[in-house]
Amino acid sequence: MEITFNNPHFLFFLLSIPLLVISHFFTMVYLKRRAFKFANIEAIKRVTGGEKASFRNTIFLTRNIGVLILRIIVLLFLIFSAAGTTLWLNRLTSDFDVVVAVDASSSMLADDFSPNRLGAAKEAAADFIGKLGSRTSIGVISFAGTSFIEQSMTNSFDNALDSVDKIQIRRVGGTDVGGAIIEATNLFLGPGQANKARVLVLLTDGQSNVGSPVEEAISYAKTNQVKIYTVGVATQEGGRFLRVEGISTVDEKSLTQIAAATGGQYFRADSNQKLSDTFNDILSSSRQKTPIALSHFMLLIALVLLFSEWGLISTKFRSIP
């Protein structure tokens, strides 16, 4: 369980709580002096309950600490509501949004998959998208030395499948895994996005050697509640690529670290069938961090308590001049 805030700058208003406390006790002192100045003991007794009431009790009605606590609670709920408080629970769900990030560097042309690594990855990704729930929003990016948004978040499976089919090798040197994670995370944060569990499926055959540091990308994904499933697309033997034998292998250590740090899982796909099975395993791993927006609930509580406070100070805790 974890709590985040969509508008954390509103939390600075927590500094107003000491001012509320000070103003409360300052008001008590003022009312006490006014009560002594204009006191009519017999009249006060009649107003506050007859013989059982006392002038001493009347003076200290406004000192009731319960009113102060109630006001502090109201202020806290209003501040946390404005801050966009969200509770994240790790629970079973099939209701999540997903971004598929496909490595489109030149090494994905290796022939240890049929027809090559990129072709196999696209085929498996398309099959995966076809099995997602109808309420799922899907985004697609490709990456090499930099990242490219192939499809922003959409509920149209046809658009998502079309964008996967159009992914081509990018002639931008290197593999920027960190940049791909950051770009994918930003898709989840785009305008109009529902506050749902966020899953990133990252397919690559190499190691991050350019662009954003992977550690910073992991931190950014964790802050925004993105769970990452990493898929290593390469066989142990490697494949032929541009007449080069034994191309670079998957950096399993880094991919395992990325997945573990975000609550996801690393998969080694060393065949077309294993790649397809990997996506099925991701679908079955349905325990995701799901958000519960608390802002409206907190605002409702604040309003109820506020009306209660008004009622109290107008009746039981009213001050008598």
Percent of the chain with pLDDT over 70: 74
Judge whether residue 246 has pLDDT over 60: no
pLDDT score for 283: 75
Tell me phi and psi for residue 143, to 5 degrees.
Answer: -150, 150
> What whole-number distance in Å separates Cα of residue 196 and Cα of residue 198?
6
The region that residue 91 occupies, defined by phi over 0 for left and psi between -120 and 50 for alpha, beta otherwise, is beta
Biggest CA-to-CA distance, the chain: 106
pLDDT score for 287: 53
pLDDT band at residue 216 using 50, 70 and 90 as cut-offs: very high
Where b means 16+ CB within 10 Å and e means fewer, 262-281 reads bbbbbbbbbebebbbebbee
Looking at residue 115, its amino acid is: P
User: What H or E segment, with its residue span, contains residue 206?
Assistant: none
Q: What is the mean pLDDT of the chain?
A: 78
The per-residue pLDDT for range 76-89, each reduced to its tens digit, is 888 888 888 877 66
Which structural domains are found in the chain, ordered by start?
Answer: 2-84+295-314 (no CATH), 90-291 (3.40.50.410)
Q: Which residue has the higher pLDDT, 246 or 233?
A: 233
Judge whether residue 67 has pLDDT over 60: yes
The per-residue pLDDT for range 157-207, each reduced to its tens digit, is 999 999 999 999 888 878 899 999 999 999 988 776 666 778 999 998 877
Q: Mean pLDDT across the stretch 280-306?
A: 75
Q: Are 25 and 56 in contact (CB under 8 A)?
A: no
